[in-house]
Amino acid sequence: MNLRRDVFQAIADPTRRAVLLLVASQSMTAGAIAANFDTARPTVSKHLQILTECELLKQEQNGREIYYHINAKKMKEVADFIEPFRKMWDDRFNKLETIMKKYNPGSNRKKK
Amino acid sequence: MERKTKINAEDGKQELVITREFDLPLELLFKAYVEPDIVEQWMGTKVLKLESKKHGSYQFETTDAKGNKYGFNGVIHEFVPNQKITRTFEMENTPFGVQLEFLEFEKLTDDTSKLNMHIVYRSVALRDQMLQLPFAQGINMAHNRLQNIVGKPACR
């Protein structure tokens, strides 16, 4: 039993987030997943192991191949499932706000 | 501290709502959606075309670190200055298809304003997929991966 494995640790790593995204589109074999990364195959395997251990990925035997697919239920248990999406918009809007605060069209600024 | 940007995505629905309050007068907030050079700055994309009017269209293009280009486009269905923009949005060369966006701009005080962005997707599954996208490191990476997937024969 390994107490270090929790979902938050799992999604903290950028490669593992990329794996989740990849598998979210369709179930894939370890080989097909690894082919999308420059990282060495054993490293990808390790990431898959961690994701499987914390149940974000499920393995499914299909003939001789093992396919990985996303465990949507577990993904939703992650309290901040949509946090990266929110953060993306928050970052954009913060930028917008900063830019517009500095924006000075010059003379035509209305006095209220 | 209260979060300025909020996402409301109810389970099992094919839509979501993004709301945000700005420390900006309404006119300045709206301008950030209309002026191409300002859109470029905060969206981090190149604006190829932006016709801010009813039946106008827009085209954005983003280039990643590797020099790959990604296109985004849509048409503007309704355009009411300082009030609302109704438009479509589509990421080119992805399986996501088009989404419908209702943007409503609202004055709160002389110096503050609010944006309500209601996005409707074609299906629940598609919405959930879009919500998951930023799990990857930004939209560019997502595009790369998707293009890899789309470009390959289905593994069977």
Chain-centre distance for alpha carbon B84: 15
Stated pTM of the model: 0.65
CB-hemisphere CA count at 13 Å for A109?
A: 10
Asked if residues B18 and B7 have their Cβ atoms less than 8 Å apart, the reply is yes
Question: Which DSSP helix (H) or strand (E) runs through B62?
Answer: strand B57-63
B42 contacts A103? CB cut-off 8 A: no
Q: Quick one: closest CA in A to B140, which residue?
A: A18
Q: Which residues pair with B155 in a beta bridge?
A: none
CB-hemisphere CA count at 13 Å for A14?
A: 7
Q: Which residues pair with B22 in a beta bridge?
A: B113
Asked if residues B140 and B62 have their Cβ atoms less than 8 Å apart, the reply is yes
B132 contacts A25? CB cut-off 8 A: no
- Alpha carbon of A52: minimum distance to chain B alpha carbons (Å): 17
Give the span between the Cα atoms of B42 and B22, in whole angstroms.
Answer: 14
In order along its 156 residues, chain B shows pLDDT tens digits of 467 899 998 888 999 999 999 999 999 999 999 999 999 999 989 999 999 999 999 999 998 888 889 999 999 999 999 999 999 999 998 888 899 999 999 999 999 999 999 999 999 888 888 887 775 444 344 445 444 544 444 433
Residues on chain A touching B38 (C-beta within 8 angstroms): 99-100, 103
Phi first, then psi, for residue B116 (nearest 5°) are -120, 115
Q: Is A40 on the interface with B (CB under 8 A)?
A: no
Chain-centre distance for alpha carbon B40: 13
Q: Which residues pair with B61 in a beta bridge?
A: B46, B71
- Alpha carbon of B137: minimum distance to chain A alpha carbons (Å): 6
Q: Give the SS3 label for residue A90.
A: helix
Which residue is listed with tokens 């994701």? A51
Residues on chain A touching B132 (C-beta within 8 angstroms): 20-21, 24, 75, 85
